[in-house]
Amino acid sequence: MRQRDEVLSSLSPEQIVSTLEACSLEDKQEFTEDEAARIEYCRSLVEQQSKSYKQAAAQMKRQDKSTQHITESEPEAELLDISELLARASKQCKTRIPLAEVVQILDNCGLPDKDEYTSLESDRFLEACKLIKQQNKSYEEVATHFGINNGLPDTSMQQVENIVETMATNADALTDELLQQSAEAKALNDAQKYMVYYAKAAAEGQQVQEFWARLREHAQSRLTGKSPARLIRAEPEANFILQSSPNSSDSSPTSENGTTSE
């Protein structure tokens, strides 16, 4: 227990009256820990979030309604896991409830996402499923039915899903386009490299072939005993002979022993 002066000491008389009224509490000398926490929460809404006392009272009442049945417990209450809960809901609604909708239904009927649910929580979930699947209620209408204010318009979740789906589709298309561009660029680059290598190899190959042809002719000439003049023409490397000037006095033919004939 906490004393009144401790809980309300910093408030003016007007603030005390407004705060207790918003919290649905009476003015008394002692408050429980839960009541004191409720008063502190109300003050945080007013002072930190700039809520009016009326807005703070409405928000606290919504939370009270959403947690009223959740916090209650029954002796030896039956607990259902999520798969059993889904099976029971699908049987009641006579239609399959996809797992993708479970979180939305839980959120809009004020239930947390957990492993097991009490019978009261199960009844709450089943009621929400019935409203959606059999009465075609929107998520906003279901949230209103259970006093939950998610702060989102009715179509917001569907819009979010559509945006996510569109982004995923665009991402896939962009990935395919980038892969195609990368493949085309690589193919073009490889083709250009191939042409360069091919041209170089073709040029070098022609020179090599000419060299081997000349060398083959030279070897054949030696083996068949051809004249030295033909052998010279068959040499791989060109031989250059300097011609004498027509006006030179040494234009006489030279004999085999190196003397010039008179």
Q: Is the pLDDT of residue 188 over 80?
A: no
The residues facing 116 across adjacent strands are 81
Distance from chain centroid for Cα 180: 19
Predicted structure pTM score: 0.32
Percent of residues, the chain, with pLDDT higher than 70: 70
Distance from C-alpha of 149 to C-alpha of 134, rounded to nearest angstrom: 22
If you average pLDDT over residues 106-130, what whole number do you get? 88
Q: Is 48 helix (H, G, I), strand (E, B) or coil?
A: coil
Q: List the single range of 147-151, 177-181, 243-247 with lowest mean pLDDT.
A: 243-247
Distance from C-alpha of 167 to C-alpha of 145, rounded to nearest angstrom: 33
Locate tokens 């020179």: which residue?
207
